[in-house]
Structure 1
Amino acid sequence: MIFSAPLYIKDRHCGYCNDTKSDYFALESQAKDSNGKSRGGSGDGGVGGELSTKQSIMVGSSITSMTCENYDELINQGFRRSGTFLYKSDLLRTCCRLYTIRTNMSYFKPSKKQRKAINRFIKEICPDESQLSPVVKNSFNLDRILEAQLKSTTFKIKFEPSKFSKEKFQLYKKYQVAVHNDDPSEITERSFTRFLCDSPFTGDEKRGTYDQWQSLDINNWTKETNEKRIGPTHACYYLHDKLIAISVLDFLPSGISSIYFIWDPDYAHLSLGTISGINELQMSQSLGYDWYYLGYYVEDCVKMNYKANFGGEILDVCSEVYYPMEDVKPYLQNGRLFVIGTIGETKQGSELDYEASGRTKGDTVTELNYNAAEDIFGGVDVYRKAKDEARQLLSDHDIGRSDEYKLPQVMPGLIPLSKIQQWLDVGIIGDETSIKIDMFGGVHKFLLGNLNREGRGFYIDCIRLFGLEKMKNSTMILQ
């Protein structure tokens, strides 16, 4: 993976809640203080002073190159991509809690509204339903939607590389103006390309093989194929040869990741967002992918909580394991932060002792005890301790951070400073650690001990964000 310096980005405007929230706090202890000052205190490393004003906060990095396997791992750490920009939310300080959600057919139970949408869509694309298998009265057959698409003479889905075309851009602009009330003058071909066409994946993954593209033909979903598609993809929906929707997808080793869905407002009655979700769930299962990643789920945001209609699991970013949505939903009420803990577990800074628990990252865990977020992030001692740990790193290992690269001393999903200190003390990270840095027009190898204080701080922040193993095979770009 090749990436630029991570940035901690604050914005007063939030596109999820449109700045309408009055209760935007991660913890109940924060919400109870009408001044917005939590028990965490204020100042460097705390959260109290930062919460007096509603903010949307993310950590992000521009990615020059990575594999789909890299991104698969990053998604399961809570990251998402927008073009070549990789980001994750600061769940403690931002106004909306953005949780990674994934599902598969075992979780999906079509609701009455979804069944109506499916029947309406089938009638549109296959008016002569006598062509389809008969349905028992008062029953519902989900496979009928696939059969209708196979037999329709007016509807088709074309899978192709994520490349720009005038036809795609015109539909995108129409959608953004009508559905999201965007200013037409601000919607450009370049912004569309950067958002939904550009990707940081390798050339082979972008192009794909003939067998990979053939596997996506709807006629081949239920047939054995030699090769599964891996890479960025546009699924283009056509009705009477008119482009009416685009599903922007990443095909990854563990599943299909939905990036964005664009639909023609003139066809709102077809509920194309629902149809695309069901299509992609069925395709995931038929082609042998384990998961369908729906992006971020926001419990208290109408634009984002519809994803619960597909069932599934929610990622706990601190442990990097998933929990069934039904189990954790009570912890998400009012947009709160959740971190699952087990009574008797020990705390280390901003993490629980997950290594001792035997949980495996990326797995599904169905046993849960309580929401430990308040215990981990709600006390002033947590932030005082993190300040002391930062000072200790500077004292023991001459590690400091400039304002440009600085990440919070405490943040859900970052490796705690206590763990960094432990790795430095036992030599897992040391002066002889080799680092690749792209600078002055080329890639150079350095030893950690030969970097200045700022460079060492930059490297440590990258480890905290991406993880130690990923950093061993990555190149950092200094600009």
Structure 2
Amino acid sequence: MIIHTSKTDLSHSMHSIVELKGVKCGYRCGYCGNAWGKASYGMWSHSMTVQDYQDLIDRGWRRSGKYVYKPIMNKTCCPQYTIRCHALNFNPTKTHKKTLKRMNKFLSNGEMPVERSDGKIEGEPMDSAHEEGVRPPPQDLLKIDHTDVEEFTTSPDTDSKSTAHLTPREDPAPTPPEKTLHVAPKPGKGADPNRPMCRKAKDIRKERRLQKDEQKQQEGASTSVTPVPLKSTSNQPKLLEDFISESFPTDPLHRLEVRLVRSNPPSPQFKASFDASYQLYKLYQIAIHMDPPEKTTESQFKRFLCDSPLEAKTAPDGPDVGYGSFHQQYWLDGRIVAVGVLDILPSCVSSVYLYYHPDFSSLSLGTYSALREIAFTKQLQKQSPKLSYYYLGFYVHSCPKMRYKGHYRPSDLLCPETYVWVPIERCLPHLDTSAYSRLNEDAKAGDAQALRDVGRALVLHRRAVMPYAAYARKRKGSSDEKDAEQYAGLVGQTCAERILLYRS
């Protein structure tokens, strides 16, 4: 069946339209510094439904602007595994709690964390991994994975200091090793047998409480006094929302407001704040990533973080804000200090990127914004029960500084062969052995969406929508069947039958 349509009809249709760009190999890896190590497939997306993009990222794809790419996992030097966090069951770590408490202290009284001499905040990873990813046409475009903004301040290959081989907490020895090693301990007399054994302070306190309770019961037996329990039954661990919504003084020193504005199509609020947002992005790229000012242009900013192929959509069972692409702006005392770029999809909130004011880097805004986005996902789930995951982009186990994403638990990694989700705890032993792993331990399992019939894949040719089989009959002698099979295999049979593959 062939459906004829016009460009106007297509621009307002509910179809996704993609143009295959093929394989890109041998470009620089921002994780390990290999100049020729990365490899990926790529497509240019003219339009994309939120359901199609949800299905694509569940097959290892990811977007940068309107460019959609998928790492070739068994060829790229640093395999990138799609990772998702179960937002409803998320348990913040001690590091996460410290980050939230530091932000609350800053808002209350202006107390800023003090950076160590190595630029780190105690208990926090460094901000920002600088990943050079696929460069979409027509102009080179820097691709950086959003929550990777939690790790490096410089690319790994630029750190040439003499102490680069040391771990973060390791310092050069102050004296030559031969003067400090093999020193025998001085002889001692040992424990005094006439003194009682040492006891833990908490055991002593517990014993005293029990003695007091027994004494009170004896003294007040006639009045039937109920003994006080040793532990309060209401002493439950604080939830993520409790830390975020912690009460402040009546007159806090700073006020933080988080605003969600639709970036595509741009809402009036997005347009009103565009210049301030762009100036913040430019400042961030120059200060944190050392980008030349001439490359951080307004048009580059629009292509990278404002343009999106995702349709804006509302649904009766969807969140009130709708689906699509958004900017979550952090306004501190009336000015933007950070922006998280998000996609809201049928099953998840997908983190795209974060940029922030360098003056506030000590507040660990990368971690803080990720925690706020997890809380935001939980909020949306109350309106849309299916929307319960927070996608952090890619997890790169072969790069130790990128493993922090695995601390947002419970979380799963996507098997690159069967496209099923596997709890990260079961994946780590495999990744410790090999950078690339199947992850799914069921040897008999396969890809449920594997290509079955390329002839049923939809094609857009000369303003007409048709199955690939009909297109091949019209184009006798066409030599693009291998490309079509590769494309349909990568997106899966279901998406191949929904998405329109543009053919000239």
Structure 1 residue 471 displacement after superposition? 1.7
Alignment match of 2:398 (pick from 300, 303, 306)? 300
The equivalent residue for 2:156 is none
Aligned residue number for residue 395 of structure 1: none
TM-score normalised by the chain length of structure 2: 0.63
CA distance in 2 between counterparts of 1:335 and 1:170 reads 42
How far apart in 2 are the matches of 1:328 and 1:290? 22
1:9 pairs, out of 9, 18, 24, with: 24
Superposed displacement of residue 302, structure 1: 4.9
**Shift in Å at residue 54 of structure 1?**
4.3
CA 1:274–1:353 in structure 2 vs 1: closer, same or farther (change >3 Å)?
closer
Query: For residue 292 of structure 2, what is the aligned residue in structure 1?
Result: 183
Paired AA for residue 258 in structure 2: I
Aligned residues: 346
For residues 56-84 of structure 1, the C-alpha deviation after alignment (integer angstroms, 9 at most, x for no partner) is 11101000111111111111001110111
| Pair 1:154-2:136 in alignment | no
CA shift, 1:306, in A, is 1.7
Single out whichever of 173-182 and 189-198 deviates more from structure 2.
Answer: 173-182
1:56 aligns with 2:12: no
> TM-score normalized by structure 1?
0.66
In the TM superposition, what are the counterparts of 1:92-171 in structure 2 within 5 Å?
92-105=74-87, 108-127=90-109, 140=238, 142-148=240-246, 154-162=255-263, 163=266, 165-171=274-280
Q: Which runs of 5+ in 1 are unaligned?
A: 20-52, 130-135, 213-224, 347-351, 356-360, 362-414
Residue 437 in 1 paired to residue 457 in 2? no
Matches within 5 A, 1:453-468: 453-468=478-493
Q: 1:333 aligns with which of 424, 432, 441?
A: 432
For the structure 1 residues 149 and 335, does the alpha-carbon distance in structure 2 shift closer, same or farther, using more than 3 Å as the test? farther
Deviation at 1:277, TM superposition (A): 1.1
* 1:265 maps onto 2:358 in alignment: yes
**Deviations 1:218-250 (Å, cap 9, x if unpaired)?**
xxxxxxx97353110100001111111000000
Query: Shift in Å at residue 106 of structure 1?
Result: 5.2
Deviation larger for 468-477 or 257-266: 468-477
Within the alignment, does 1:241 sit opposite 2:334 as a pair?
yes
Partners of 2:354 and 2:55 in 1: CA distance: 23
Partner of 2:215: none
* 1:450 corresponding residue in structure 2: 474
With over 3 angstroms needed to count, the CA separation of the structure-2 counterparts of 1:249 and 1:435, relative to structure 1, is closer
How far off is 1:256 after superposition? 0.3
2:418 pairs with 295, 316, 319, which one?
A: 319
Q: Distance in 2 between matches of 1:464 and 1:98?
A: 19
1:156-185 CA distance string (max 9 Å, x none): 011101246121111111111222222222
**Unaligned runs of at least 5 residues, structure 2:** 1-15, 112-233, 382-386
Q: Is the 8 A contact 1:54 1:94 kept in 2?
A: no
Match of residue 51 from structure 2: 69
Contact 1:435 / 1:448 at 8 angstroms: preserved in 2? Answer: no
Indicate how the Cα distance of structure 1 residues 183 and 303 shifts in structure 2: closer, same or farther if over 3 A, else same: farther
- Equivalent residue for 2:212? none
Contact 1:104 1:285 in 2 (8 A): no
**Counterparts of 1:361-400 in structure 2 under 5 Å?**
none
8 A Cα contact 1:296 1:304, kept in partner: no
2:319–2:380 contact (8 Å) kept in structure 1: no
Contact 1:434 1:447 in 2 (8 A): no
Asked if 2 retains the 8 angstrom alpha-carbon contact of 1:149 and 1:156, the reply is no
Residue 375 of structure 1 corresponds to none
For 1:200, the aligned partner's letter is P
Q: 2:457, 2:493 within 8 Å by CA — same for their partners in 1?
A: no
Structure 1 residue 137, shift from structure 2 partner:
9.9
Kindly provide the amino acid, as one letter, of the partner of residue 252 in structure 1.
L
Structure richer in helix, relative to its length: 1
Superposed CA RMSD in Å reads: 3.0
Q: Is the 2:97–2:243 Cα contact (8 Å) retained in structure 1?
A: no
Q: Structure 1 residues 128 and 139 mapped into 2: Cα distance closer, same or farther (>3 Å)?
A: farther
1:161–1:234 CA contact under 8 A, matched in 2:
yes
Q: Which of 1 and 2 has higher RCO (CA within 8 Å, sep 6+)?
A: 2
CA distance in 1, matches of 2:259, 2:440: 45
| Whole-Å separation in 1 of the counterparts to 2:285 and 2:497 | 41
